[in-house]
């Protein structure tokens, strides 16, 4: 058969939108119509004599060879689907109608490009899956992982990351990073990555191609903003290496995904805020009674299994009522916030401070190497509260009365420890204030009859 068609029939074949392909018994192209180049990217002269299977996507080659063998056995095929790799590296989906001509010893097939149909179907399913994930995910890392898996099926996303902007520090954090090449970024200033900074600052899509390089190592980058009612809160970024860059359709898809993710982030943030408010004092942001009670029960259970020591500190401010009476409640509230900050500064990372009302504070000290360390930290707190507080136009001085109870010496459970620490604190206060009293010392005095 001729490789170029000059006959009227050949001219008609070249006018068809579908490609006509003729393959010999050895699987080599002997004829392709003009539409072949539009669909597959190769001119007819580039494929004549070339094995058909070389153009098939590697994952579809086995089923393609089995189907070709069945056709050659006399079983025509009218809707076989497989994928080919275009000359430019893009994957195309093809639906074939084919039959075997025994007289000519060739397979004659018609190739219909269904890539757009497949992409539309994949996008519809993917967008539905993203919507479901956004509503069902228990946490953001899980959501980002699911989103990466979903969109990775319809657009190149070898690298995928979610960036969230912290306006207070003008920093970017990365709650999810999946990278096949290059190191995972750590939290950094917004200006550290100009591409992400442009997405977040301008709230717009940024699509970057590698310039003149179009080889297999060329890097393509696409970032879209995560938008909330208050503005841009971050960015979703996909990146891959290859010949084919990101398209307008890819941008639209990722923007839809970003909308779903942004809604999920806002919902999670609201839930987290409500959860935080339920467990923290609204004025000082220290733990409230509920969180202290839960945390105390947990650390006592762990301490009992490890034979470890735990200390409970009750702190009451000396002279706080006079501050309120003299300067007013706004100044008193400001003082309580500054006291909370100073207490925090005296604690270890895993210790917990709380406010249980008025000017009373509680500190839980976990995993103490020795019982006496609780008293050491209590004295550190008392010393930290000694210097004058500079509160707007006022300079205020206060002190603290602190009671210390230690597990297991002063109690086997949270209630016993709380009573012991509270009693020690009141003893310190009634003895003139600005001192630390230890529950074990009071118990010894009781035992001695004093």
Q: Are strands 399-407 and 435-438 parallel, antiparallel or unpaired?
A: parallel
Distance (Å, whole) CA 163 – CA 187: 9
Count H helices and E strands in the chain, helices first: 14, 18
Query: Which three-class secondary structure state does DSSP give residue 213?
Result: coil
Q: Are 428 and 401 in contact (CB under 8 A)?
A: yes
Catalytic residue among 281, 359, 410, 422: 359
Alpha-carbon dihedral of residues 82, 84, 89, 91, nearest 10 degrees? -30
166: left (phi over 0), alpha (psi -120 to 50) or beta: beta
Instruction: Determine how many CB atoms are found less than 10 A away from the CB of residue 429.
Output: 19
Distance (Å, whole) CA 68 – CA 119: 26
**In sequence order, what are the residues at sequence separation of 6 or more whose Cβ sits closer than 8 angstroms to the Cβ of residue 346?**
377, 380, 381, 384
- Please say if 410 is a catalytic residue: no
User: For the residues of 125-193, what is the DSSP string, one character each?
Assistant: HHHHHHHHHHHH-SSHHHHHHHHHHHHTTTS--SEEEEEEEETTTTEEEEEEEE-SSSPPPPSEEGGG-
* Token pair in block for residue 24: 């010999």
Q: Which residues are designated catalytic? A: 359
């Amino acid at each position: 058969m001729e490789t170029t068609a000059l006959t009227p029939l050949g001219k008609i074949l070249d006018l068809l939108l579908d490609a006509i392909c003729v393959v010999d018994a050895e699987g080599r192209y002997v004829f392709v119509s003009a539409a072949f180049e539009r669909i597959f990217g190769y001119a007819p002269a580039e494929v004549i004599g070339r094995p058909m299977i070389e153009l098939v996507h590697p994952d579809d080659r086995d089923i393609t060879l089995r189907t070709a063998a069945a056709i050659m056995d006399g079983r025509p095929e009218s809707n076989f689907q497989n994928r080919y790799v275009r000359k430019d590296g893009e994957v195309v989906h093809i639906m074939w109608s084919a039959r075997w001509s025994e007289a000519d010893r060739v397979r004659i097939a018609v190739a219909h490009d269904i890539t757009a149909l497949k992409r539309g179907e994949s996008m519809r399913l993917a967008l539905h899956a993203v919507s479901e994930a956004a509503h069902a995910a228990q946490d953001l890392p899980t959501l980002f992982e699911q989103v990466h898996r979903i969109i990775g099926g319809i657009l190149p996303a070898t690298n995928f990351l979610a960036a969230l902007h912290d306006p207070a520090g003008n920093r970017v954090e990365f709650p999810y990073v999946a990278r096949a090449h290059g190191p995972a970024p750590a939290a950094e200033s917004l200006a550290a990555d100009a591409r992400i900074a442009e997405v977040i600052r301008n709230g717009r899509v940024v699509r970057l191609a590698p310039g003149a390089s179009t080889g297999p190592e060329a890097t393509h980058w696409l970032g879209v903003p995560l938008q909330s009612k208050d503005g841009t809160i971050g960015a979703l970024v996909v990146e891959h290496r290859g010949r084919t860059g990101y398209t307008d359709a890819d941008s639209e898809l990722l923007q839809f995904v970003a909308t779903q993710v942004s809604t999920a982030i806002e919902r999670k943030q609201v839930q987290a805020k409500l959860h935080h408010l339920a467990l923290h004092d609204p004025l000082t942001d220290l733990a409230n009674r509920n969180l202290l009670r839960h945390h105390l029960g947990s650390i006592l259970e762990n301490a009992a299994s490890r034979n470890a020591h735990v200390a409970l500190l009750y702190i009451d401010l000396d002279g706080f009522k006079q501050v309120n009476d003299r300067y007013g409640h706004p100044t008193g509230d400001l003082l309580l916030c500054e006291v909370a900050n100073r207490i925090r500064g005296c604690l270890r990372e895993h210790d917990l401070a709380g406010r249980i009302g008025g000017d009373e504070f509680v500190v839980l000290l976990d995993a103490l190497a020795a019982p006496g360390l609780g008293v050491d930290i209590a004295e550190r707190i008392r010393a930290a509260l000694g210097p004058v507080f500079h509160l707007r136009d006022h300079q205020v001085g206060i002190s603290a009365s602190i009671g210390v109870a230690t597990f297991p010496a002063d109690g086997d459970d949270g209630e016993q420890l709380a009573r012991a620490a509270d009693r020690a604190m009141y003893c310190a206060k009634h003895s003139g204030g600005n001192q630390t009293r230890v529950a074990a010392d009071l118990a010894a005095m009781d035992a001695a009859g004093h």
